[in-house]
Structure 1
């Protein structure tokens, strides 16, 4: 039962993706973690719209740009239902 003080809980799913060119040339691979939120929303306990799902994607791209990150996610179908909210280089930044 939800109460007025209930807090919205999110499930974070970790997914790993690599651009094909990073597999053949690991020296040109840049690793990022990307937070995605669903376009689909629901109301929290305060009746404020919030993303229904949040995912964190661990990925490797051949160019260190936001465009390369968005392109890989788009090709894999993620940007149909999600939008990028942030990305960063993880502490262990090796792709392989």
Structure 2
């Protein structure tokens, strides 16, 4: 009977050690997976922030180009209109001169 009790105690202590070892291993694995998951999430967050900054810079650049084109077009229209006015004045003066 004492042999079976000691054998049972040995088996139970080995089983307990095995369970504790498994818990220890799983806790380390879980910690590592959480750490890796956290790092992956950080990389995703950084990638999203970078993409947002790039998009904002692109939109700003597009807005600047649009403004430059609008200003260039306005200058072109003013010069075109002023040259037409000048030409009309010259033609009017020539017409009056020959009358």
TM > 0.5: no
TM norm structure 1: 0.18
Higher fraction of helix: 2
Higher relative contact order (CA 8 A, sep 6+): 1
TM norm structure 2: 0.18
Higher fraction of strand: 1
